[in-house]
Structure 1
Amino acid sequence: MPTPEHDPLPDVAVGRHPDFGIVAANPKQLAASTWMLKGFDFHPVPDHPNLYALANQQRDGQGRATRAVALLRRADYRVDAAPPRTAARDVSGRRRRIGILAEPSAFPTVRQDNGPTDNRDSGGRAVAAAGQKRLLHDAVVVVPGIMGSELIDTATDKVVWGAPHLFRYTARMQLDRFRSLALTDDERAGRTGRIRPGGLLSVHEWFPNLGGIEPYSKLVGDLRANAVHPHAVATFAYDWRLSVRHNGAKLAEFANRHLAAWRAHPEHGRHMVSAGEDRPGQLLFVAHSMGGLLVREVFATPGAADEVAGVLTAGTPFAGSVKAAVVLSTGRNGAPWLPREELRGIGRTMPGLYDLLPGYRCLWDGDETRRLAAADIVAIGGDPDLAVDTLSWQQQLAGVQLRDHSLVVGVRQPTPASMHSDSGEAVASEELPRRKDGMPLQHPDGSPMRQVLGGDGTVCTAAAQHGEAREIPVARKHGTLMSGNLVRNMAVSALSRIRGLEELGDILGDGKFGLDAPEAVRLGEEFTIRLAGTLNPAAVNCTVEEVTGSRATVRAELRRDCENADTLSAACALTQPGLYRIEVSGGTEPVSHFVMAAAADA
């Protein structure tokens, strides 16, 4: 949890209180800190705001608190565990003698890094560290989003998606690999196998108009480090070009095979006996983006979800994404160095892309919006048969609910929420009509009221909601949701049956930044980075770095924007090709955005 170095207050303070024993304080009153402390069995002390006492301290209280400090620091929280003679600060910042003080031997400094804590013996078995409420004994399946699985040409064994070193790719090389993703007539007829999924994405990737995505290695590592044995956690790679219905059926088979294999695993049985578990392991899904739609497909299949205990989804477009329509029409500035008509032809063959089309009232028709019809999809370049199929599929899945569902929703990022058609092109907008009880509202002069919902840059907040799921708002971009410390720790905590999500009441991590920049630029072309959420340039730091191998860096200094008083901005130009991460730190957790830079071939 990054905290500006000049900030005198820690995010969490842990130590001993003369009346309440082992306690923790939340001096900044962060909702994320409150949630994490409750997960570690620290509970509010009556009449002592922001003070939390460890429950059942007779059960190795010191060890459990030490473990809590270690995990909080791993999640980048600034944790104060000061020596007993050091005065602490109260919430107002004043020094006090009776404070949240810790003995050095009780709360040692823990090395901070980005890798998972893996406490295992020589046989790979997880060793229950002091303070860990329970080891995860359920069977976990991690389901990535669209673009999140490596794809391989079966005939040549060549990686066509997920290959490293994008910075070396010319425009022609990029177009060749996009061409290889287009479905053939045989694949459209159901004879798949030309392309096979490898593993989960292990490098950064990028697709025109969908943007960039980060690998899932940190998330998988954290889950395996907290399982009874690494074999309890499996990853489901799939050919995301194909329909959700096709891949959902494969996921149902894979998940139930994984559950059976884990229940037969020696470590599962050993843990059942040693921990006194009252039930065998069940299935838990952790899904990103399109992966959540595959999980919903499992629940729509009779009997397939009987053994599912819970689901965590992040950035799943349960009601679709306008960006999918933009990809079908090739949109504006998707990849200015590539031929638009050819990109349109590639995208229109992919059933999986159609399954991401918005199912809510997103198409402007005068001053109102309506749902997309098959003719609208065809008008922007879609295939008639695939358009009809996906609209029918959307209707069939509309009422399917997920069991024990926690739902991460990206917020505060500029996000397309609606569209209009302009000469066969889907033109996106962030605005939607403001409604009450389903009816559009008007200003006194009769003009329609409009609203900007925001989201994660790809999925607007309304489209990410689903039924009665517990919503957890996080201020991050779509492609980076699963790599952030907060969501990774949430996944571990939720799957270890540490709950309390409904008590968050605020944006996780107090994330406040909205970051906006193009997703693709030509080499040397100047563009603008804009940041909402602060007006103090000294409070934030902006870095621009190539992430696929060259590691080129570019200076970008945020200043007060002359045209928009509510934002900071920076001018930037990229002179070397590659996929660049723009990252702004200074809040609770950094917010990132990917931009691809390339030049047209001579």
Structure 2
Amino acid sequence: MTRARITDLVVVLPGIMGSRLADADGRAVWDLSGGALLRGLRTFGASLDTLRLPKDIGDADPGDGIVPVGLMPDLHVVPGIWHPVDGYTDLLRWLERHFTLSVSDNLLTFPYDWRLSCRHNAERLKGRIDLELERWRASAPERREARVVFLCHSMGGLIARHYVERLGGHEITRRLITLGTPHRGSPLALAHLVNGERVLGLDLGPFARSLPSLHQLAPDYACMTGPGGLAHARDLPGLPGVDPALLADAARFHADLRSAPPRAELHAVFGVGQPTATTAHYADDRLLLDVGDGDGDGDGDGDGTVPRRAALPTDAAGDDLAGTGSGTPYEQHGSLQNNWGVRNALWGLLGHTPPVPRDEEPLAALLGVEAPALLAAGTPYEVTVTAPHDHLLLTAELCPADGNRAAPRTLHSLGGGRYRAAFPPPEQGAYRLSVGRLTALTLVADR
């Protein structure tokens, strides 16, 4: 197959937890994925003190010797920090297979220390791009006018935006593509900060609350419901768990992005149709998420992690979009980078037409899936699906991340376009749930 020609430099940025981390001696401190994920998380507690950041770190480097060493290849998660995310190996292979791109040549990956602020990592990105673009332009005469195309999943889009919009990166950027980036934050991040999850016997609260990055993922819109209506989390001084200074700084970070003129093409690809928390309220000493029904009407839906309303950047006035929405697949947040509809959108955004146009599958393209991201061992695995209408034959497969045989189930109609299936309690481990071409990710563990 002839590969589509790309003369620009394409740079892939992962989301939070999507970069492998090692200490100064080269020992892995975060490198858990796929079938080894659960076993590794049981010993992850030994790294928590090493990875926890000092108070008031701001945009600085902690000087603890932790360095990013690559992208996560497969399913990964730290429960209590973010929802499960699939890896990036398949995306990189797809790019190399269909375009004249090669890893470490003109297809670069930018792993980063996801604990640190987006500003800090944007400064590192600038240094890397300055070197790599000069190298690429000098490698052949036809590349002298090459520019950079950023392809970013989740938080990676915030880092690239800060570089492009605040550090002069617009001068050499052709296009910034974000996949499921929480441009206006996500209530999920705020809930993890406030609630301080305890998972697998590990108290993740102090670690999570030390991260500037997690605060920068908190909602930058009025998301807290109360007697007086909706309020910004930063305006609620009694909200426990969050670091007020980090939350206030996160608000400045987002304000800086809103006030920057859109000087480079920004295309936001995001998932819809999945039940997604859009607002939250505080009760019984916990932050409780208010989840929409995922009916795809634009109010209360998203990709299961990032609400639709937060997946597009806005300008300083908060009314007009600062980017273009390109592609809205029915897909969960952690699998957007591997969704076939997203891949088709990427063809156009990289300047080419797919060699063989693919008709959208009406059934697979309109499914909303509700399934647990973390399941206690011994608990049946229940899946609820919303579909365009009743009387469909729907099946789901729960596949272990280690590649063992999937367990299929037929979903039963509940009426009103809703379907349900229940799997027997799975063995402990990491799993992918597939309904049509839509994927959800789950970790089964004793808590």
TM-score, with normalisation over the residues of structure 2? 0.86
Give the % identical residues. Answer: 25
Q: Work out whether 1:216 is the aligned partner of 2:88.
A: yes
Deviations along 1:297-354, whole A, 9 cap, x unmatched? 01233433201111111101111000101111236xx665435xx2211110111000
Q: Which residue of 2 aligns with 1:242?
A: 116
> What is the CA–CA distance in structure 2 between the aligned matches of 1:451 and 1:186, rounded to whole Å?
38
TM-superposed deviation, 1:214: 0.9
Aligned match for 1:147, one of 8, 17, 24: 17
TM-superposed deviation, 1:482: 0.4
Q: Which residue of 2 aligns with 1:166?
A: 36
Q: Work out whether 1:496 is the aligned partner of 2:386.
A: no
AA aligned opposite 2:79: P
TM-superposed deviation, 1:551: 2.5
SS in 1 for 2:125: helix
Q: Is the 8 A contact 1:546 1:580 kept in 2?
A: yes
AA aligned opposite 1:195: I
SS in 1 for 2:328: strand
TM-superposed deviation, 1:510: 7.4
Aligned match for 2:427, one of 572, 576, 581: 576
Question: 1:163/1:213 Cα in 2 relative to 1: closer, same or farther (>3 Å)?
Answer: closer
TM-superposed deviation, 1:184: 4.3
Q: Which residue of 2 aligns with 1:108?
A: none
> What is the CA–CA distance in structure 2 between the aligned matches of 1:483 and 1:352, rounded to whole Å?
24
Q: Is the 8 A contact 1:160 1:180 kept in 2?
A: no
AA aligned opposite 1:530: T
Q: Is the 8 A contact 2:61 2:116 kept in 1?
A: no
Q: Is the 8 A contact 1:475 1:511 kept in 2?
A: yes
Q: Is the 8 A contact 2:24 2:66 kept in 1?
A: yes
Alignment of 1:215-294 (within 5 A): 215-230=87-102, 231-265=105-139, 268-269=140-141, 272=142, 280-294=145-159
Q: Is the 8 A contact 2:165 2:263 kept in 1?
A: no
SS in 1 for 2:253: helix
SS in 2 for 1:191: coil
TM-superposed deviation, 1:201: 1.1
Q: Is the 8 A contact 1:163 1:203 kept in 2?
A: yes
Q: Is the 8 A contact 2:275 2:292 kept in 1?
A: no
AA aligned opposite 1:206: V
Q: Which residue of 2 aligns with 1:45?
A: none
SS in 1 for 2:375: strand
TM-superposed deviation, 1:169: 1.3
Deviations along 1:350-406, whole A, 9 cap, x unmatched? 110000010111111226212222544x62301232122212222222223361222
Q: Work out whether 1:411 is the aligned partner of 2:272.
A: yes
TM-superposed deviation, 1:281: 0.9
> What is the CA–CA distance in structure 1 between the aligned matches of 2:408 and 2:185, rounded to whole Å?
36
AA aligned opposite 1:201: M
Q: Which residue of 2 aligns with 1:303?
A: 168
Q: Work out whether 1:325 is the aligned partner of 2:186.
A: no
AA aligned opposite 1:356: L
Alignment of 1:496-575 (within 5 A): 496=351, 511-535=365-389, 539-547=393-401, 549=402, 551=404, 553-561=406-414, 565-575=416-426
Alignment of 1:116-515 (within 5 A): 129=2, 135-155=5-25, 157-166=27-36, 169=39, 172-177=42-47, 180-184=50-54, 190-209=61-80, 210-230=82-102, 231-265=105-139, 268-269=140-141, 272=142, 280-330=145-195, 337-339=200-202, 342-366=203-227, 368-373=229-234, 375-376=236-237, 379-400=239-260, 401=262, 403-430=264-291, 452-466=299-313, 467-471=321-325, 472-496=327-351, 511-515=365-369
Q: Is the 8 A contact 1:288 1:316 kept in 2?
A: yes
TM-superposed deviation, 1:468: 4.3
Q: Is the 8 A contact 1:534 1:568 kept in 2?
A: no
> What is the CA–CA distance in structure 2 between the aligned matches of 1:192 and 1:496, rounded to whole Å?
41
Q: Which residue of 2 aligns with 1:54?
A: none
Deviations along 1:501-559, whole A, 9 cap, x unmatched? xxxxx999972000001111111112420000155575322100111x26264343311
> What is the CA–CA distance in structure 2 between the aligned matches of 1:402 and 1:573, rounded to whole Å?
52
Q: Is the 8 A contact 2:126 2:167 kept in 1?
A: no
AA aligned opposite 2:201: L
SS in 1 for 2:366: coil
AA aligned opposite 2:258: A
AA aligned opposite 1:580: Y
> What is the CA–CA distance in structure 2 between the aligned matches of 1:530 and 1:216, rounded to whole Å?
27
Instruction: Please list every run of 5 or more consecutive structure 1 residues that lacks an aligned counterpart in the other structure.
Output: 1-118, 120-128, 433-449, 500-505
Q: Is the 8 A contact 2:133 2:147 kept in 1?
A: yes
SS in 2 for 1:169: helix
SS in 1 for 2:162: helix
Q: Is the 8 A contact 2:390 2:416 kept in 1?
A: no
> What is the CA–CA distance in structure 2 between the aligned matches of 1:158 and 1:408, rounded to whole Å?
32
Q: Is the 8 A contact 2:14 2:111 kept in 1?
A: yes
AA aligned opposite 2:151: V
TM-superposed deviation, 1:224: 2.9
The structure number with the bigger radius of gyration is: 1
Instruction: Please list every run of 5 or more consecutive structure 2 residues that lacks an aligned counterpart in the other structure.
Output: 314-320, 355-359
> What is the CA–CA distance in structure 2 between the aligned matches of 1:337 and 1:220, rounded to whole Å?
32
TM-score, with normalisation over the residues of structure 1? 0.65
> What is the CA–CA distance in structure 1 between the aligned matches of 2:263 and 2:15, rounded to whole Å?
17
Question: 1:171/1:285 Cα in 2 relative to 1: closer, same or farther (>3 Å)?
Answer: closer
TM-superposed deviation, 1:182: 2.3
Q: Is the 8 A contact 2:182 2:217 kept in 1?
A: yes
AA aligned opposite 1:218: D
Q: How many correspondences in the alignment? A: 426
Q: Is the 8 A contact 1:167 1:577 kept in 2?
A: no
AA aligned opposite 2:272: V
> What is the CA–CA distance in structure 1 between the aligned matches of 2:444 and 2:66, rounded to whole Å?
27
Question: 1:406/1:510 Cα in 2 relative to 1: closer, same or farther (>3 Å)?
Answer: farther
AA aligned opposite 1:420: H
> What is the CA–CA distance in structure 1 between the aligned matches of 2:188 and 2:156, rounded to whole Å?
17
AA aligned opposite 1:257: L
Alignment of 1:59-78 (within 5 A): none
Q: Is the 8 A contact 1:413 1:476 kept in 2?
A: yes
TM-superposed deviation, 1:219: 1.8
